Structure 1
Amino acid sequence: MDIAGTRERWRSTYQMRRDQAKDLVDRIPIIGRLISEFVRIEFIDRCMLIAAQGLLALVPVLVVLSAFFPTLVGDAVGQFSSASGVGKSGTTIIQNELDPATVRTHTGYIGLAITIFSATSFSRAIQRMYERIWACKHIGGVSGLRRCLLWLIGWLMTLQIFAAIKGIISGLDGLLGNGFEFFLQGLLMTGVWLVTSWALLFGRVPWHRLLLGAALTGYLGVIYNQGSALVMPPYVRNNAEQFGTLGIILAVSSWLIGYAAIMVASALLGRVISEDPTVRKVVGSWRPVVAWARRFSSPAAPTPPTADPDSRPAGP
Structure 2
Amino acid sequence: MMSERLHRVQTWLRTRWLGRIVVNGLDSFLRLDMFDRSMTIAAQFFTSVFPILILLATWAASRDTHEIADAMGIPDETRSVLEDAIQGSGSASFGAVGVVIVLASATSLSRALIRAYMAIWAAPKPKSGLGSAWRWLAAVLVLTLALVAVRAASEPFDIHPLREALPLIATVTLNLAVALFVPWVLLAGEVRPRMLAPGAVLFALLMLTVRPATAAWLPNALEVSADRYGPIGVAFTYLACLYTASLCFLATAVLGQVIATDEGTFGQWIRRTRATKTEDGIAHSA
User: Residues 76 and 89 (structure 1 numbering): CA distance in 2 closer, same or farther, change over 3 Å?
Assistant: closer
Residue 49 of structure 1, aligned match among 40, 47, 53: 40
Contact preservation (8 Å) 2:71, 2:151: no
Identity %, equivalent residues: 23
Alignment of 1:157-172 (within 5 A): 157-159=145-147, 161-162=149-150, 164-167=152-155, 169-171=156-158
The yes-or-no answer on 1:151 pairing with 2:151 is: no
Q: For residue 120 of structure 1, what is the aligned residue in structure 2?
A: 107
Q: Quick one: distance in 2 between partners of 1:24 and 1:178? A: 44
User: Residues 254 and 42 (structure 1 numbering): CA distance in 2 closer, same or farther, change over 3 Å?
Assistant: same
Structure 1 residue 53 displacement after superposition: 0.6
User: Residues 106 and 40 (structure 1 numbering): CA distance in 2 closer, same or farther, change over 3 Å?
Assistant: farther
Query: Structure 2 counterpart of 1:55, which letter?
Result: F
Q: Which has the higher helix share?
A: 1
Alignment of 1:189-268 (within 5 A): 189-268=175-254
Deviation string 1:77-125 (CA, Å, 9 cap, x unpaired) is 56861xxxx35546734335x2423233894312232011101111222
Q: Quick one: distance in 1 between partners of 2:196 and 2:29? A: 18
- The alignment's TM-score, normalised by the length of structure 1, stands at 0.71
Q: For residue 11 of structure 1, what is the aligned residue in structure 2?
A: none
Q: Quick one: distance in 2 between partners of 1:173 and 1:52? A: 41
Query: Structure 2 counterpart of 1:137, which letter?
Result: P
The yes-or-no answer on 1:94 pairing with 2:77 is: no
Query: Structure 1 counterpart of 2:248, which letter?
Result: I
Q: Secondary structure at the match of 1:142?
A: coil
The yes-or-no answer on 1:21 pairing with 2:9 is: no
Q: For residue 278 of structure 2, what is the aligned residue in structure 1?
A: none
Q: For residue 122 of structure 2, what is the aligned residue in structure 1?
A: 135
Q: Secondary structure at the match of 2:264?
A: helix
Contact preservation (8 Å) 1:93, 1:245: no
Query: Structure 1 counterpart of 2:133, which letter?
Result: L
Computing the radius of gyration from Cα coordinates, the structure with the larger value is 1
Q: What is the RMSD of the two structures over their aligned residues, measured on CA atoms?
A: 3.1
Query: Structure 2 counterpart of 1:185, which letter?
Result: T
Q: Quick one: distance in 2 between partners of 1:156 and 1:215? A: 20
Q: Which runs of 5+ in 2 are unaligned?
A: 15-19, 271-286
Residue 57 of structure 2, aligned match among 39, 47, 66: 66
Contact preservation (8 Å) 1:68, 1:100: no
Contact preservation (8 Å) 2:71, 2:148: no
Structure 1 residue 42 displacement after superposition: 1.5
Structure 1 residue 202 displacement after superposition: 1.1
Q: Quick one: distance in 1 between partners of 2:179 and 2:221? A: 28
Q: Which runs of 5+ in 1 are unaligned?
A: 1-14, 285-316
Q: Quick one: distance in 1 between partners of 2:165 and 2:176? A: 16
Deviation string 1:119-160 (CA, Å, 9 cap, x unpaired) is 111122222222211111122222332211122234434455
User: Residues 231 and 157 (structure 1 numbering): CA distance in 2 closer, same or farther, change over 3 Å?
Assistant: closer
Deviation string 1:45-72 (CA, Å, 9 cap, x unpaired) is 210110111122222232233233356x
Contact preservation (8 Å) 1:79, 1:163: no
User: Residues 90 and 190 (structure 1 numbering): CA distance in 2 closer, same or farther, change over 3 Å?
Assistant: farther
Query: Structure 2 counterpart of 1:131, which letter?
Result: M
Larger CA deviation: 234-243 vs 99-108: 99-108
Query: Structure 2 counterpart of 1:27, which letter?
Result: W
